Structure 1
């Protein structure tokens, strides 16, 4: 067994104890207390990383083990699921790298590796650390983006409820800013429900709307046209003076839509 293979075997067999030493060294660099659970998790993480490094240094190619990529991905997803900050991962990275490389250098020199071999092990370790942190950040961002998307979907659901008020009559209160995503949600999710509820007249109340533009207005007119084809009458209420002025400036034509100042007035007109 040559010296590189000896070091590889040593790293794999002693991964846990080396990980414990590295974590202790890293913790001594930080000026804050770390919960016991996080320390144990860090030891587990570095144990796996050192095992991957042991496998990598005996490989002829520069490819990163698939296991390391999956491991890094899980690290990023875990941090995101705990509502952590990606900066909390990155800010510890420089000190972690220095400690890790120092420990690996000591191990390789203790096993009598030549200068070139020590450099090769450190180069491979640095490369793996770089790939690992990159994949961790990407996984964190993907997971966070999915969380944001799901929360936006929930917000869209809550911000556009269909409220039945009489047989065949319902109110659709529009709240906040209507952007393209919310307009698409109305078109693809709310409209089908209106038809399923056998609503004959829908009052779209704009009193909670902050702003509107021509793109959003086109979506709302599409909703108006689709519901009209289904035989559902559309009434608009709550278009405030400032919103009406904005509508006029944007060149939006609401003249084909029956409007009232309030939901109450619209209902009284039906009596």
Structure 2
């Protein structure tokens, strides 16, 4: 490391506290965010310590000429942000804010040592430090995504394990309320669970409610109606409620015959009519 780069390294380390404070002062009120300006003193100090660690990690790149140590900070903080539920875009915005503060400090250093700094020095520092920021953001985004994906998968598996597809509302009538994306049910032996539970509960009628399903693809529409056909073989009549226009369109395009299936616009109407009949 040449003499001026060493001086810049030392100068930036001396500015750690001031840069952190400037960043903290730039915060705005953000609801349910760790970055909010009205966060508790404990959270503010926690952010200050993280920022100190971040700055020292970035500055170290000047000395070592390597980006290998960036991963540790990125993984630790990304994991905390993802686990706390802070949206990714908030972290990216604060990265951008702090990069501006950081580069302003380099401008101050250049102004203080103009006679000893070449254009080549400035271009080199700019290249190294911006690359360090870019790599840190890329690593942060990757680790955040991995944690968020793992959380979503765990939640889906937990729902699958704990949920009971068929809800019995009388001795002979049951309801299967589908919520969220139908695609979530593909790997959960959903059709098998429905048939086994309907059979175990000795149901004669099963209501499949789709009012909580925002969309459905062609493959899952076909699979859903295959379940209807299999229930029929078991002697169980199927009623479908809450069919959205796009689901109906997909079914028609597949040539699925609705004439054998009882349908209602609302679940409560189906429940009322079926229970009254029985």
TM-score w.r.t. the length of structure 1 is 0.65
**Deviation (angstroms), 1:26:** 2.7
Where in structure 2 are there 5+ consecutive unaligned residues? Answer: 30-36
Write out aligned runs for 1:1-271 (5 A): 3=3, 6-7=6-7, 10=10, 15=13, 18-30=15-27, 33=37, 35=39, 36-60=41-65, 63-65=66-68, 67-104=69-106, 106=108, 114-115=117-118, 116-148=120-152, 161-164=165-168, 171-175=174-178, 179-182=181-184, 184=186, 188-189=189-190, 191-192=192-193, 194-195=195-196, 198-201=200-203, 203-206=205-208, 209=211, 215-224=219-228, 232-237=234-239, 246=248, 249-250=252-253, 251-254=255-258, 262=270
**Deviation (angstroms), 1:225:** 5.4
Structure 1 contact 3–113 (Cα < 8 Å) conserved: no
Tell me the number of residue pairs that the alignment of Structure 1 and Structure 2 aligns: 257
User: Distance in 1 between the 2:227 and 2:240 partners?
Assistant: 18
SS in 2 for 1:233: coil
SS in 1 for 2:63: coil
Structure 2 contact 175–207 (Cα < 8 Å) conserved: yes
User: Distance in 2 between the 1:265 and 1:101 partners?
Assistant: 70
- Coordinate RMSD, CA, aligned: 4.7
User: Distance in 2 between the 1:80 and 1:210 partners?
Assistant: 27
User: Distance in 2 between the 1:99 and 1:239 partners?
Assistant: 57
Where in structure 1 are there 5+ consecutive unaligned residues? Answer: none
- Could you say if the C-alpha distance between residues 182 and 267 of structure 1 is closer, same or farther in structure 2, counting changes exceeding 3 Å? farther
Structure 2 contact 183–220 (Cα < 8 Å) conserved: no
SS in 2 for 1:171: strand
- Could you say if the C-alpha distance between residues 198 and 104 of structure 1 is closer, same or farther in structure 2, counting changes exceeding 3 Å? same
- Could you say if the C-alpha distance between residues 114 and 158 of structure 1 is closer, same or farther in structure 2, counting changes exceeding 3 Å? same
**Deviation (angstroms), 1:219:** 1.0
